[in-house]
Amino acid sequence: MTTLKLVFISLLLLSVASHASLALRTQLHSLSESSNSNNYLTTQELWFNQTLDHFSPFDHHKFPQRYYEFLDYLRIPDGPIFLEICGESSCNGIVNDYISVLAKKFGAAVVSLEHRYYGRSLPFESTTTENLRYLSSKQALFDLAVFRQYYQESLNLKLNRTSVENPWFVFGGSYAGALSAWFRLKFPHLTCGSLASSAVVLAIQNFTEFDQQIGDSAGAECKAALQETTKLVEERLASNKQAVKTLFDAAELEIDGDFLYFLADAAVIAFQYGNPDRVCSTLVKAKNSGDDLVVRSSCFLDIYLHIYMYGAIILNEIKSIPVQDKVIGTLGSQSLLLLACSLMTLLIFSHSFVGYSLFLCTWKLRTLSILIPVNGMTKL
């Protein structure tokens, strides 16, 4: 009887999985289409051959660099060209933001160039120290200059004209904002202006003022909890570094300085992007109740980074995979677990995290990992 029940339940689950798989496929496809149409002016990739080393008279190697163009608003023949600089992340298209509003107002084309070594603009297959020697802001500035010349010529060819120079204006934020400002200074003949938003134009090697500001923003009680957590981590690194790194899922980080940097930066992100209470309430409560601050910190930061900060990244990863690969095609021993994880991922994103005790699905190397229970979360 027990065997018959198990068979019946198995068949029922397989049937549910089959129907849920079709629903999942449809909803993922719908999510991808609506996101592309609403969030981007274009995601159509274009490529050109970029110089690998702009400062060597002998090395003429090239690498493919990705860019995007949007010409719907261009006023022919003399409309401006807005160059939106992508920074230290993958550039997946031209975002439909305030630049598109300005482009429509001024009759401008919008182009965007992916930064070397990021996204799909990779000069080498591996990122060894030797291969990273061409990764610098100086090389990136000349990438922009070369691209600017290339694109102007290609646009002239497209419009069947010669020797025409449209006015160029560059945009960037944060690191890309610094590139925008530096580009205007370095190549004033190639651009008529620059908008550098939150630009980090002044490099400070030992920027202790940033840490001081975090302490002021945290308040005395939270600052004390953060400092005690750091002290405890440093002590455990000295006695059993592998155990403490494993606790934070960072066992592969061999250099202790790298581990401590990422640990500090993970907490600081909450302050920088407007969620200080997420860190402070957790650590202060743990400190006052006598809980292990290191363990509490590791659990919290893992959840925070996956849900609060990187939810959009996880969703983009899902969208970047062909629809037929997003759904479990064969029902193996883990198929129902993976399907449940996929459905919970959709539930998380489609309901904005409100009112659920969630199961967090992490997306690592394009494979859904095991379900992590997150209990008692009512509103993020």
pLDDT for 250 beyond 60: yes
Whether the per-residue pLDDT at 310 is higher than 70: the answer is no
Instruction: Look at residue 251 in the predicted model and tell me its pLDDT.
Output: 85
Specify the pairing of strand 40-42 against strand 168-173: unpaired
Taking residues 23-42, report their average pLDDT.
Answer: 51
Please say if the pLDDT value at position 278 is more than 60.
Answer: yes
- CA distances (Å), origin 62, targets 48, 51, 124: 9, 5, 11
Burial group, residue 72, by CB count within 10 angstroms (0-12, 13-18, 19+) = exposed
- pLDDT given for residue 37 in this prediction: 54
Instruction: Using alpha carbons, select from 342, 343, 348 the residue that is nearest to residue 369.
Output: 342
- Higher-pLDDT residue of 164 and 7 is 164
Please state whether beta strands 168-173 and 358-360 pair in parallel, antiparallel, or not at all (unpaired).
Answer: unpaired
Tell me which residue has tokens 């000349």.
Answer: 142
pLDDT greater than 50 at residue 361: no
Asked if 338 and 21 count as a contact pair (C-beta separation under 8 A), the reply is: no
Task: Specify the pLDDT at position 150.
Answer: 97
Superfamily assignment of 41-197 in CATH? Alpha/Beta hydrolase fold, catalytic domain (3.40.50.1820)
Q: Look at residue 33 in the predicted model and tell me its pLDDT.
A: 38
Is the pLDDT score of 353 beyond 60?
no
Whether residue 324 has pLDDT greater than 50 = no
| Sign of the torsion formed by the C-alpha atoms of 307, 312, 315 and 321 | negative
Give pLDDT, residue 380.
28
Beta 193-197 vs 168-173: how paired, if at all?
parallel
pLDDT score of 337 more than 70:
no
Q: Which residues fall within 8 angstroms of residue 124, CB to CB, at 6 or more apart? A: 131
Q: Judge whether 35 and 60 are in contact, CB under 8 Å.
A: no
**Beta carbons of 303 and 376 less than 8 angstroms apart:** no
Inter-CA distances, 132 with 58, 114, 115, 126, 202, Å: 19, 17, 13, 9, 23
Domain segments of the chain as ranges? 41-197, 206-309, 325-380
- Beta-strand relationship, 168-173 and 81-85: parallel
Give tens-digit pLDDT for 290-307: 989 998 888 777 665 555
- The set of residues, in sequence order, having a beta carbon less than 8 Å from that of 257 and lying 6+ positions away, is none
Question: Taking the model in full, what pTM does it have?
Answer: 0.66
Rounded CA-CA distance 230/248 in Å is 13
Residue 82, classed as helix, strand or coil, is: strand
Element spanning 168, H or E? strand 168-173
Confidence band of 116 (pLDDT split at 50, 70, 90): very high
Neighbours of 354 (CB within 10 A): 9
| Predicted local distance difference test score (pLDDT) of residue 206 | 86
CB 41 within 8 A of CB 93: yes
pLDDT of residue 311: 42
Mean pLDDT of 96-115: 97
* Distance from chain centroid for Cα 54: 28
